């Protein structure tokens, strides 16, 4: 580490604003502060003086996502070999499953980070401002919400759209209205629906030449089956909890999401109000459907409904995005509850969108400022009323 520190110090003068490579000053600064704790603390505009910066915060979120990433790699291999009829037991062929998953998933991660950070560096160089670290998390979230068979060029296009249109046009990190990773997912979902839905994109059963290894195999997700009336083919609640089902790379395991939630809550990064409110909202809507019982999908038990699909992943990593979520405490309860409520409503009522979490979060991202506005106005009215009464 000391050797690396010395190397960075030797290179630093060349990247100073007045140095030969001054135009890349903020790119170098971003890389330096990513490797080492900043040597300065907040000096103005805050009551707390601390050396932690956005990179440290983003690093904690990435750490919280690692269980989902690692399990997602294994599950990609597990679903692949299950389709071929090999290593059917969960504990069989662990090495082969994991290696296969790494080979399939890592290119998606590399493309996501490569395109996203490339655009970030370009905007940093053109605008001459410090590099914005928000994409450190978005770059990991994008692969985790993608199906394993998504073409790499589509990952690149979706990432570029999300970074430029979803964030940079609003002013960069901290100014975006909607979640960047979900913007990429939504763009690809509507632009290339055949590659983001159906029963052929969730399980890798193709050769490198695009030829199917297994004829007639259906890799439909439990939500896809339920939306078309196939609830009897859904995986069990325990399989949903552990993540032993087809789906987006990192969204299937509720257990891994709960590990991530624990990390975010212990470190104070994630909002427990939003997480709990989203869980309560989803449970309330699922319970209402249980009471209605108009079809088999509505009769799915509440807890099982919450374990399916990307509900837990969205609850932990998407809904709690501090930039696009509500900021007031009361607003967080309203914001989270409506996300959970709408997510279950969309997935059950509208078969075209079996995974309602994405649309629910994006919609509430847009509504979050309005929620905060009315919460603040209500507080002001209450205080004015107390002031008049005591005057």
Helix, strand, coil tally for the chain in percent (to 5): 65, 0, 35
> Which is more confidently placed, 71 or 56?
71
**Among the ranges given (202-206, 210-214, 248-252, 323-327), the one the predictor scored with the smallest mean pLDDT:** 210-214
Q: How much is the pTM?
A: 0.83
pLDDT of residue 52: 54
Alpha carbon separation from 390 to 6, 265, 381, 385, 386 (Å, rounded) = 65, 40, 14, 9, 6
Quick one: average pLDDT of 83-90? 86
Phi, psi of 206, rounded to the nearest 5 degrees: -120, 150
| CB 271 within 8 Å of CB 245 | no
* % of the chain at pLDDT higher than 70: 79
The mean-pLDDT minimum among 186-200, 223-237, 323-337, 377-391 falls in 223-237
* Mean of per-residue pLDDT scores for the chain: 83
Question: What was the pLDDT predicted at 47?
Answer: 43
CA distances from 111 to 104, 150, 233, 289, 322 (A): 12, 12, 35, 41, 25
Q: Is the pLDDT of residue 50 over 90?
A: no
- For the chain, the domains span 55-379
Taking only the tens place, the pLDDT of each residue in 5-30 is 566 566 666 656 556 555 555 455 55
Write the pLDDT tens digit of every residue in 109-161: 999 999 998 888 888 777 766 666 678 889 999 999 999 989 999 999 999 99
**Is the pLDDT score of 379 beyond 80?**
yes
pLDDT at 197: 78
Q: Give the pLDDT confidence score for residue 391 in this predicted structure.
A: 57
């Amino acid at each position: 580490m000391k050797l690396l520190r010395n190397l960075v110090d030797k290179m630093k003068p060349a990247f100073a604003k007045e140095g030969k490579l001054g135009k890349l000053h903020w790119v170098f600064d971003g890389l330096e502060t990513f490797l080492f704790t900043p040597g300065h603390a907040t000096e103005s505009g805050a009551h707390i003086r601390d050396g932690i910066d956005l990179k440290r915060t983003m690093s904690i979120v990435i750490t919280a996502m690692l269980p989902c990433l690692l399990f997602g790699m294994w599950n990609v291999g597990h679903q692949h070999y299950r389709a071929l009829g090999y290593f059917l037991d969960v504990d069989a062929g662990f090495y082969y499953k994991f290696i296969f998953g790494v080979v399939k998933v890592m290119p998606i991660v590399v493309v996501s980070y490569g395109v996203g950070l490339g655009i970030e560096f370009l905007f940093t160089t053109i605008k001459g401002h410090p590099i914005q670290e928000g994409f450190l998390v978005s770059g990991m979230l994008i692969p985790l919400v993608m199906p394993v068979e998504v073409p790499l060029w589509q990952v690149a296009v979706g990432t570029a759209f999300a970074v430029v249109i979803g964030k940079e046009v609003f002013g960069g990190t901290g100014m975006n209205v909607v979640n960047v990773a979900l913007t990429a997912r939504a763009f690809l979902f509507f632009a290339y629906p055949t590659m983001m839905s159906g029963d052929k994109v969730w399980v890798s059963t193709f050769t490198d030449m695009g030829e199917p290894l297994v004829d007639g195999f259906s890799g439909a997700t439990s939500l896809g089956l339920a939306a078309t009336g196939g609830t009897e083919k859904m995986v069990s609640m325990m399989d949903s909890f552990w993540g032993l089902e087809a789906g987006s790379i990192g969204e299937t395991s509720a257990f891994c999401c709960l590990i991530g939630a624990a990390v975010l809550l212990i470190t104070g990064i994630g909002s427990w109000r939003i997480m709990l409110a989203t869980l309560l909202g989803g449970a309330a809507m699922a319970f209402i459907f249980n009471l209605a019982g108009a079809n088999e999908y509505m009769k799915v038990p509440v807890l099982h409904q919450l374990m399916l699909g990307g509900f837990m992943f969205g609850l932990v990593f998407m809904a709690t995005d501090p930039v696009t979520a509500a900021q007031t405490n009361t607003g967080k309860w309203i914001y989270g509850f409506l996300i959970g409520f709408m997510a279950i409503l969309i997935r059950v009522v509208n078969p075209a969108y079996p995974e309602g979490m994405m649309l629910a979060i994006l919609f509430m991202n847009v509504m979050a400022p309005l929620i905060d506005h009315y919460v603040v106005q209500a507080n002001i009215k209450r205080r004015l009323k107390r002031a008049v009464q005591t005057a």
